[in-house]
Structure 1
């Protein structure tokens, strides 16, 4: 297996598990993972939030950990990366307002590089206009955005994931095992036990 270079787009109040778990798991299997946030340099931090499902009409939110970025957003060159990962939480809601973020997502899509998005992450995919004709999962409250962007919303179990070509999506962090397994397959990563 050759190591891949993966970019993660984060922002304040990104979902803690959806940033921390992929960041660590992808490194564990040998990939290089850069985490960036607009207007922040390497060494700066983003705040995270923990979203939980406790029987309410929507998820609850609790403070997470501060996450230290390891790369600078201003240095992002899509041609140097093999794949993109977009965690959920509240960050995608405002990151989609940044023209450079949208351009980055569009460049990964145009190059047919693997893109993994979870929970609210598909808000960036919808805003970037890359869901036309694609089937995509997301947190259920994002289903209208997926449909309005020309995509088909995959209504799957919260522990399941969906792959459509280079696009790997899931409804929320309980799907990490399935979502990360599909993403590793899209990357061509083979793990031998």
Structure 2
């Protein structure tokens, strides 16, 4: 059996939990997870930020870890991957300006491969033009992005996931158990105890 690869799109100030937890959890399940960032190579790192919900009108942001990338962005060939993970944080805000990033997202969608996006990750889905006529959850501040891209924003509690077709989307890192379980199910894996 050949190894199953998953692509994870990261960038500076990606959300810490939304990057590290999927990377580690999917690796633990036996997937080869390639974490990449435009203009960076394997061994480079991206800075992360921890977003928390402490009763303010929006999330707070604290410095996170340095997350080491393990694959070169320029070597990405989407045909080699079974799924795509799009973490949130501030990275999607500027990654969506990169045409190759948008092409990557579109390529996964056109091939009907599972895509897991959380929090601000929906900004990449919107910029890639894959939300027209579709449902998508995200951090509530990204609801307008989803709607302007022709999608229907699904407002759910922060610990829930919304699945439609090949998309598993969620509002924030508290959804990790549900979000990652839904993504793994879309990948065709079965976890039994």
* TM-score above 0.5: yes
How big is the shift at 1:192?
1.9
Partner of 1:7: 7
Partner of 1:28: 28
Q: Deviations over 1:29-85 (max 9, x none)?
A: 111100000000000000000000000000000000000000000000001111100
| Matched residues, number | 193
Written as runs of structure 1 = structure 2, the 5 A alignment for 1:120-131 is 120-131=120-131
* TM-score, L = length of structure 1: 0.98
Q: Which runs of 5+ in 2 are unaligned?
A: none
Partner of 1:69: 69
Partner of 1:171: 171
Question: How many Å separate the matches in 2 of 1:18 and 1:2?
Answer: 27
Q: Which runs of 5+ in 1 are unaligned?
A: none
Written as runs of structure 1 = structure 2, the 5 A alignment for 1:143-154 is 143-154=143-154
Partner of 1:93: 93
* TM-score, L = length of structure 2: 0.98
How big is the shift at 1:2?
7.4
RMSD of equivalent CA atoms = 1.0
Partner of 1:190: 190
Q: Which runs of 4+ in 1 moved over 3 A?
A: none
